[in-house]
Amino acid sequence: MSEQDAQQKDMASKAHADVHQDESDAAQGTTRLKIFRGDAEGGSEVEYEIPNIEGMVVLDAVLYIQAHQAGDLAVRWNCKAAHCGSCSAEINGKPKLLCKTRVEEYEGQEIRVHPMRAFPVIKDLVSDVKWNYEVARSTIPFQSDEQAPFIMYEEDVERLYEPKKCIECFMCQDVCHVLRTHHKHPEFAGPRFFVRNQWLEMHPKDTQSRLEYLKEGQGGIGYCNITKCCTEVCPVNIKITDNSIIPLKERVADEYYDPAKWLMRKIRGRRSPKTGAVVGRNGNRNGG
Amino acid sequence: MSGGTLSWSSFTARFPWWAGSVTTVAILGAFTIYSIFIVFFQPVGEYGGYLLSPMYSPPVPSPIDWLSPAIFVLWIPLGFRLTCYYYRKAYYRAFLWDPPNCSSKAQQREPRSPENYSGERNLWVFNNVHRYFLYGSIIVVAFLLYETIRAFFPDGFGITIGSLLFLLNVVLLSGYTFGCHSMRHLAGGRVDCYSCVRGGNLRRKSFQWVSVLNGRHMFWAWVSLFSVWGADVYVRLLMAGVITDLRLV
Ligand code: SF4
Ligand code: SF4
Ligand code: FES
Ligand code: FES
């Protein structure tokens, strides 16, 4: 056995421990990854070579490099179970959860790992997502006339389960061309927050309207041209465009673009966005 | 992730990123040219008194000889498709490259600069009339249903290839029309509390039915486009005497 082989075997067994594999799944060959190294000032790709381990995800590969080859390589992660949404980055130009993406998916292809590009880079694979928390603060919060705990019926809340699945990985924000290419951050909330607003708007106990925020305010839903890249990348399969954005666009159309609706409002008075009841009389949300 | 999803993505990954755009442009472009040709150069679209091409239904008599009666009808389904949320996605991507697709490389080719990009805020804001085209299209589908029934009576009851084609067309068009996002909103999507409103359960059920169709809206959009197109070509071939309408029953 050559010295190189011995070294490789050693590396492979260390990687084994990292990914909790059986000793019997010995490493087969190596994989090369190009990883962005740099910060807000700039940077470049650096190539690393690591031993293959069956079932290895890209985060394993990155952590292997961090442990054995580049101790200062920055990467953000927490759960390693596709739950916390921390490890979002871009693999070959597409947003991915590093902990959910297997290396073997890229067999025969280059693997190029970069931080999310719609946000400023802090270091290496870590980008600064704090802008999203500012948008979260601009969102009109839940408010109800009633005191929690509420009695709610299954049929009224079943549509709220899907938006609730969001793990705030912000990959939909990253891939959205309105943010990524057109940098509309100050006037566009982005798909993640349309998901959030849909949840709030459809909540049977919430009494606020967010349509003005969405159309005129920081929501900026008109910038979205429903081209569905957000839906393509969501790791929890929220149908962002079909089930959150388009329903909100339809509600905005009710309020701002539908002459018949406008006329009805003039004649019959404004109705509650929640129940269709005339608003203002007894504040009765339960009327028909 | 299911095996099916994996193999579909690996199938599409074989094509260059612009392949989807080129296909969409080719099909929608050809359909548009075909429709313009019908409207301006084909005043008649009926065969044997029982097969009226779907592009001419409902039949409105044209006051000008050379102008096809289709012009008084076709703007409704064409407007419906033009403002449809699915086709919007398709043409923003394929024709305007806004963006051509989702990869980083493709997005870098977006032709509009940040200052010039306004999404659906300026020109495309007219797409918000979609619901009115939906109302019109429901009427058109009702007429098509009537024409389909007529197609089963070439001379007394009978089933021909033409009548089956018309039946298929009306089914596919209904799948497209009743799975529309505006329909979904109208049916019950805009209600927040089904248990609070009168007829809430019916609203919820309708919402769920429309949602089932809506989940495959892209599929319905394409197959119904081809069925309308196919039915019109079929009628035209019959009119030209190239084929005969084979009678099965
Ligand atoms: S559908 Fe809208 S929000 Fe989603 S990525 Fe496209 S433009 Fe952005
Ligand atoms: S909607 Fe999906 S892609 Fe967007 S932040 Fe939530 S989980 Fe991530
Ligand atoms: S580390 Fe939590 S989602 Fe990847
Ligand atoms: S959304 Fe496609 S027809 Fe209405």
Q: How far apart are CA A23 and CA A17, in angstroms?
A: 9
- How many C-beta atoms lie closer than 10 Å to residue A11's C-beta? 18
Question: Does residue B5 carry a pLDDT above 90?
Answer: no
Residue B66 pLDDT class (50, 70, 90 cuts): confident
Q: How far apart are CA B182 and CA B11, in angstroms?
A: 32
Q: What is the arithmetic mean of pLDDT over B12-38?
A: 89
Nearest to A128 by CA among A174, A82, A196, A93: A174
Q: How far apart are CA A95 and CA B29, in angstroms?
A: 32
Rounded to the nearest angstrom, the distance between the alpha carbon of B107 and the centre of ligand 1 is: 13
Distance from the Cα of residue A41 to its chain's centroid = 25
Looking at 3.40.50.720, 1.10.1530.10, 2.60.40.1180, 1.10.1060.10, the CATH number of the domain A130-287 comes to 1.10.1060.10
Tokens standing for B242?
């190239």
**A184 exposed, middle or buried (CB, 10 Å; 0-12, 13-18, 19+)?**
buried
Q: What is the arithmetic mean of pLDDT over B80-96?
A: 96
Total-model pTM = 0.90
Residue ranges of alpha helices (H) inside chain B are 3-13, 19-41, 71-83, 85-94, 104-107, 130-151, 161-177, 181-184, 200-214, 217-239
Chain B residues with CB-CB distance to A250 below 8 A:
131, 181-182, 184-185, 189-190
Does the beta-carbon distance from B121 to A223 stay under 8 Å?
Answer: yes
Percent of chain B topping pLDDT 70: 96
DSSP calls for chain A: --HHHHHHHHHHHHHHHHHT--TTS---SEEEEEEEEEETTEEEEEEEEEE--TT-BHHHHHHHHHHHT-TT-----S-SSS-S---EEEETTEEEETTT-BGGGGTTS--EEE--SSS-EEETTEE--HHHHHHHHHSPPP--SSPSSPP--HHHHGGGHHHHT-----HHHHH-HHHHTT--GGG---HHHHHHHHHHHH-TT-----HHHHHTSTT-GGG-----HHHHH-TT---IIIIIIHHHHHHHHHHHT-HHHHHHHHHH-PBPTTTSPBTTSTT-TT--
Chain B residues with CB-CB distance to A224 below 8 A:
119-120
Residue B88 sits at the chain A interface (C-beta within 8 Å): yes
* Mean pLDDT, rounded, of chain B: 91
Looking at 3.30.70.1400, 3.10.20.30, 3.40.50.300, 3.90.420.10, the CATH number of the domain A3-127 comes to 3.10.20.30
Residue B141 pLDDT class (50, 70, 90 cuts): very high
Q: Which of B88, B129, B196 sits opposite A226 (nearest CB)?
A: B88
Q: How far apart are CA A257 and CA A261, in angstroms?
A: 8
Choose the mutation target among B193, B216, B220 for the interface with A, i.e. most A CBs under 10 Å: B193
State if residue A86 touches ligand 3 by the CB under 6 angstroms criterion: yes
Give strand pairing partners of B110. none
- Ordered by start, the domain boundaries in chain A are 3-127, 130-287
- ipTM given for this complex: 0.92
- pLDDT of the residue at A192: 98
Q: Which of A177, A224, A250 sits opposite B185 (nearest CB)?
A: A250
Q: Between B6 and A238, where is the model more confident? A: A238
For a substitution probing ligand 3, which of A84, A168, A170, A236 has the most ligand atoms within 8 Å of its CB? A84
Tokens standing for B57?
């239904």
Q: Please, what are the averages of pLDDT over each run of 10 residues along chain A (288 residues)?
A: 50 47 58 96 96 95 97 97 97 97 93 97 97 97 94 95 98 98 96 98 95 96 97 97 98 96 89 63 34
CB A86 within 8 A of CB A96: no
- Ordered by start, the domain boundaries in chain B are 15-179+215-239
Q: Compute the residue count for chain A.
A: 288
CB A207 within 8 A of CB A285: yes
Q: How far apart are CA A225 and CA A242, in angstroms?
A: 12
Give backbone dihedrals phi and psi of A23, rounded to 5 degrees, phi first. -60, -25
- pLDDT of the residue at B54: 94
Size of interface A-B (CB pairs under 8 A): 133
Say whether B236 sits in a helix, a strand or coil: helix
Residue B223 pLDDT class (50, 70, 90 cuts): very high
CB A191 within 8 A of CB A173: yes
Which range is least confidently modeled, A194-203, A240-249, B97-106, B139-148? B97-106
Q: How far apart are CA B95 and CA B115, in angstroms?
A: 20
State if residue A176 touches ligand 2 by the CB under 6 angstroms criterion: no
